[in-house]
Amino acid sequence: MHEESELVTGEAVVLDLRVAKLASRALAMALDVLVQLAALVGVGMLLAFAVPETDEALFVTLLLVTLVLVMVGYPVVFETLSRGRSLGKMALGLRVVRVDGGPIRFRHALVRGLAGFVVDFWALGLFGAVAVIVSLVSSNGRRVGDFLAGTLVVRERVPASAGYAAITMPPGLAGWAAQLDLTRLPDDLALASRQFLARFGELRPEASHALGWGLAQQVGNALGTPVPAGVPPWAFLAAVLAERRRRDHARAFSGYAGPGYAAGPGFGGPGYPAGAGVAGPGSPPGPGVSGPNHPAGPGFAAGGQYPAAVSQPGPVDPPTPPSGTAVPVENPFTPPS
């Protein structure tokens, strides 16, 4: 069994969740299997009355087709329509999400359903033995289908004390972020950026600066856009993730706020008061970033505003990291235990 670990998510439907344990997943799976068996028995009885007794080959063919449709179609349909929940998961308070915490789509559910039928449970899975072994080896309890689909199962019902705050749009960056092509952002890079922002106030200033620039450069390269001039790395990352959350939120609820999406008062997270800025060269005094290793200091700009360059379309030159700063090329964080 796995220890619970907090998962920071970016969607309105799944905030502040924890990775599900093997026991709760197994119980949810058992409930789903009961539903599937009931469906198979019902369809089998219907076919027995509908198909002539003399046509045994037709009966066997229809029964096999029904078996595949129920065992694969049931989880795919439910997890697609309910954003990651089957009946068993609903009963246990579980949900399937992407590895970065976002809601799954049809392709994720289809990969999980096919892998579950062929590898994890039935055809080659020795009635779930493969899924159990892989889940025990995985740090987050993921089975083969989760690895192939880039998903994991989390708990929706968490204690009130759990939680990182949601990332909100830094002031002045909403219009710029609305123009980005976020389909090119890998899920693992988004998760690394989210974890960096959640721990920013706990890091030493030198480490947070180096890690922030490294992640900002990787995200900029993935999106094909540099960090806007004068924008600190944490604000760049927060703007990208907040815009990604906004678009997923719009898709989840079949509504779209449009380019004029109203930005929040600032980045709200551990050690970050609403509307806080960060120190920058030549910045006038303003609210600073607080945290165990980040005492209040000069803000990025008076009133929490950014240079006009960030609101204009088109590429701008990114700031240059200080000389001698080591820029990481891999995700420096692992999910907290």
CA distance to 166, 232, 234, 278, per residue, from 284 (Å) = 28, 15, 19, 11
| CA 156/CA 89 separation, integer angstroms | 10
Compute CA distances 333 → 188, 270, 320, 328, whole Å: 11, 17, 23, 11
Report the candidate in 34, 43, 36 with the shortest Cα–Cα distance to residue 66: 43
Cβ atoms of 112 and 89 within 8 Å: the answer is no
SS3 77: helix
Q: Using an 8 Å Cβ cutoff, are 111 and 148 in contact?
A: yes
Q: How far is the C-alpha of 265 from the C-alpha of 330, rounded, in Å?
A: 31
Cα distances (Å, whole numbers) of residue 209 to 85, 113, 200, 278, 327 = 39, 42, 9, 11, 9
Query: Which residues is 291 bridged to in the sheet?
Result: 294
pLDDT above 80 for 274: no
**pLDDT tier, 249 (very low <50, low <70, confident <90, very high otherwise):** confident
The token pair at 46 is 């219907």
Find out whether 4 and 146 touch, Cβ atoms under 8 Å. Answer: no
CA neighbor of 232 nearest in space, from 209, 248, 250, 249? 209
pLDDT of residue 217: 92
The band of 21, judged by pLDDT with boundaries at 50, 70 and 90, is confident
Task: Give how far the C-alpha of residue 131 lies from the chain's centroid of Cα atoms, to the nearest Å.
Answer: 22
Give the residue carrying structure tokens 């999400």: 97
The pLDDT confidence band at residue 157, using thresholds 50, 70 and 90, is: low
Which of 140-144, 169-173, 202-206, 313-317 shows the lowest mean pLDDT across its residues?
313-317
Of 108, 116, 115, 101, nearest to 29 (Cα)? Answer: 116
> Quick one: pLDDT band at residue 287, thresholds 50, 70, 90?
very low
Q: For the stretch 176-212, what's the b/e string if a residue is b when 16 or more beta carbons lie within 10 angstroms of its beta carbon? A: bbbebebeebeeebbbbbbbbbbbbbebeeeebbbbb
Q: What is the pLDDT of residues 297-336, one digit of tens each?
A: 333 333 344 444 443 333 434 444 444 444 343 333 333 3
Distance from C-alpha of 19 to C-alpha of 255, rounded to nearest angstrom: 29
Q: How far apart are CA 289 and CA 208, in angstroms?
A: 12
Sorting pLDDT into bands at 50, 70 and 90, what band is 268? very low
Mean pLDDT of 259-272: 39
**Tokens representing 333?**
């964080």
Structure tokens given for 246:
């906004």
DSSP type of residue 147: H
Distance CA 266, CA 296 (A): 16
- Mean pLDDT over residues 259-273, rounded? 39
What is the rounded CA–CA span in Å between residue 120 and residue 18? Answer: 23
